[in-house]
Structure 1
Amino acid sequence: MLAYSVYGEAGGPGKTTISGSLAAAHARHDLDVLAIDLDPQNASLSYLLDVDDDREDPDVDHLVRHLIDRPKGSFEDLIRTTDHGIDIIPAHNALSGLDDLLDRVAKTANDMGEDFDPTTRLREVLVEFGVADRYDVVIIDPSRTEGAGLYNAIAATGSLVVPAEATAKGKQSVIGLEQLVGGLEEELGGIDVGVLAVVPNKVDKRSGTQRTYLQDLQEVAYPVPVEIPIRGALFDGAWEHRCSPYEFVEEHRERVPDRERETLELIDELAATIEAEADL
C-alpha cells in the first residue's frame, strides 16, 4: 500500500488542490484510493470533492469521534464515495478541537494506568479497519499548522509529498525540510518520515526570478519529478465546480486548451512516479 500526507510549512502552495488532483490521478490508474481530510478549514479537500455537507452537524458520526473512542457507528460508514471513484473521509468542524480532545483522553487514560498516544490514534484506527487490505493508496490532507492532526497524519503514512511555490518563501520551506522531518520524527517517537516528492506548483517560467528558484529546488536532496505551471482557469474551475481538474475538463469544458491537457499529463506523471515508490 502507498500512503502519504500532502504537506508543506509555507502557505499558498496548493496543498489541497494537489491532494485532490493526485487522488483523482491514482483512481484513474485503476487503484483503490482513500483520501482523509484532516484540515479544519472550510476550503478543504471535503469541499473540493463536494462531500462536506455534514461538517457543521454536531449529531453526525465523524472521524474525531473514532479518534477519541466515542464513535456513533462503524468506521466504514464514515467513508463517502465520489462520483469518480475516490473514497474520502470528510472533515468535520470538530477537528478544530482535536488537540484538546485527544489530550483529555490521554490524561484520563494515564490516570487509569492505560496507554494512549494522541499522535498515533489515526494509525491505530486505520490498522483496526484493515485499510491496507482495502486500499492501494491512502492520501491524507492535514492542517498546515503543527498539532495533533499533522502528527496523526504523518504517523499514519510515514511519507510526505511537499508542494512548494517557486518563490523565496517556497525555497526556504524546502530548505527547512530536513529540519522539519527531523522534528516530526522526534515528536513521533522515532517514526521514520520520508519525502516522496517536492512539487513546484504555480510555476511561471517566463519569470527570471522563478527560474532561479526552480533551479534551487531542483538541487535539493529530495525528488522533484515534475513542475506544475500556473493554471488558474483549470484549478479555479475545479474549485468552482467542486471536482478534480480531470472532471472539470471532461464535464465542464467545451474546449480543452492544450496547456491544460499537458498539465493533467504532468499530474499523471507525478502520480505514477509516486506509485512506483510502492511498486504499484
Structure 2
Amino acid sequence: MLTYAPVSEAGGVGKTTTAATLAASHARAGHEVLVIDMDTQNGSLTYFFGPDYDRGDPNVDNLVRHLVGRPKGEFHDLAIEVEEGIDLIPSHNMLEDLHEFLLNEKNQAENFGESYSMYHQLHRVLSEANVRDKYDVVIVDSAGKAGPILYNALVAVRNVVIPFEATAKGQESIEGLDDLVDGLEESIDIDVGVLAVLPIGYKDTRDQKEILADLRGSGFSVPVVIGERGSLMEGCWKQQCSPYRYVEEHRSRKRDYETETLNQFDELARHLEREAGLEIPEVTA
C-alpha cells in the first residue's frame, strides 16, 4: 500500500493540484485511490473535485466526528467517488476546531487514567476502517503549518511528497519542513520518509539550475521537474476536474507541453508506486 501527503510550508506551490493529479494518475493506472481532504481552506481538494457536499453543515457526518470518536455512520460512507477509481473524504469546517476537540478528548481520557495521543487519531480511524482492504493508495492533503491536522496526517501516512518552488523562498521551505519532520519523529517516535521533491514552475534560469543542483546534492529524490503550467492548472480549478480529464474533455486541441506535463506526473506516480512495492501496470491510461 502507498500512503503519503503532499506537504509544503510555503503557500501557493501547487500542493493540492499535486495531490489531485497524482491521485488521478494512480487511478488511471488501475489502482484504487482514497484522497482525504484535511485542508481547512475553501480552495482545497473538496472544491477542486467539486462534489455535491456542504462542508458547513454541522449535522452531516464528517471526518472530524470520526477522529474524536463521535461518528454518525461508517467511515466508508463518508467517501464520495469524484473520478473513476478516486474516492474523496471531503473537508469540513469542523476541522478548524480540531485542536480544541482533540485536546478535550485528551483531557477527558487522562481524567479516567487513560492514555490518549492527539496525533494518532487519523491512523486509528483508517486502521479500524481497514482501508488497506479496499484501497491501494491513500493520499492526505492537509494544512501546511505545524499542528494537529498535519501531525495526524503524517502519523497516518508516514511519507511525504514535497512540491517545491525553485526559489530561495522555496529552498527555505524545504529546510523548514526537514526540521519539522525531524522534530515530529523525535516527539512522537515515528519515521517520516520523503519519497520525492517535486519542483514546479521551473523556468531553467541560472539561479534555478543552482538551486536544483543543491537540492539533488542534498540527497533528496527529484524524479521529475515540472515547468510553468499555470493555464493548465487554472483550467482544472475552473472545471473542477483532474488535468487528465481537463485535457481530454475541455481542450479543443492537443498541446504538447500539457501532454509532457501529464507524462511527467505519470512518471512520478510510477516512481512512488515502486517505492511502496505496488505492481506497476504495463500500460498506463
TM > 0.5: yes
1:65-112 CA deviation, whole Å, 9 max, x = no partner? Answer: 000111111111101111332111000011011011100111011101
**Preserved CA contact (<8 Å) 2:39 2:91:** yes
Aligned partners of 2:220, 2:212: CA distance in 1, in Å?
Answer: 13
Aligned partners of 1:142, 1:255: CA distance in 2, in Å?
Answer: 35
Letter in 1 for 2:190: I
Shift of residue 52, structure 1, vs aligned partner:
6.2
Matching of residue 168 in structure 1 with residue 171 in structure 2: no
Aligned partners of 2:37, 2:48: CA distance in 1, in Å?
Answer: 11
**Preserved CA contact (<8 Å) 2:202 2:225:** yes
Secondary structure at 1:18's aligned position in 2? Answer: helix
Aligned with residue 220 of structure 2, among 211, 218, 222: 222
Aligned with residue 206 of structure 2, among 186, 205, 208: 208
Letter in 2 for 1:272: R
Distance 1:176 1:220, change over 3 A: farther
**Preserved CA contact (<8 Å) 1:52 1:91:** no
Matching of residue 82 in structure 1 with residue 82 in structure 2: yes
Aligned partners of 1:176, 1:148: CA distance in 2, in Å?
Answer: 17
Matching of residue 184 in structure 1 with residue 207 in structure 2: no
Matching of residue 13 in structure 1 with residue 13 in structure 2: yes
Aligned partners of 1:94, 1:63: CA distance in 2, in Å?
Answer: 9
1:105-139 CA deviation, whole Å, 9 max, x = no partner? Answer: 11011101122211000000100000111110000
Task: In structure 2, list runs of 5 or more residues that go unmatched.
Answer: 279-285
Paired residues, what number? 278
Distance 1:228 1:119, change over 3 A: same
Decide which moves more: 171-180 or 243-252.
171-180
Aligned partners of 2:232, 2:97: CA distance in 1, in Å?
Answer: 34
**Preserved CA contact (<8 Å) 1:52 1:90:** no
Over the matched positions of the two proteins, sequence identity in percent amounts to: 50
Distance 1:204 1:131, change over 3 A: same
**Preserved CA contact (<8 Å) 1:175 1:220:** no
Aligned with residue 237 of structure 2, among 220, 239, 260: 239
Aligned partners of 1:56, 1:64: CA distance in 2, in Å?
Answer: 13
**Preserved CA contact (<8 Å) 2:30 2:85:** no
| TM-score normalised by L of structure 2 | 0.95
Matching of residue 193 in structure 1 with residue 188 in structure 2: no
**Preserved CA contact (<8 Å) 1:198 1:223:** yes
Aligned partners of 1:248, 1:31: CA distance in 2, in Å?
Answer: 20
| TM-score normalised by L of structure 1 | 0.96
Q: What corresponds to 1:262 in structure 2?
A: 260
Shift of residue 63, structure 1, vs aligned partner:
0.2
Report matched runs for 1:14-163 at 5 Å: 14-51=14-51, 53-163=53-163
CA RMSD of aligned residues (A): 1.1
Aligned partners of 2:92, 2:52: CA distance in 1, in Å?
Answer: 8
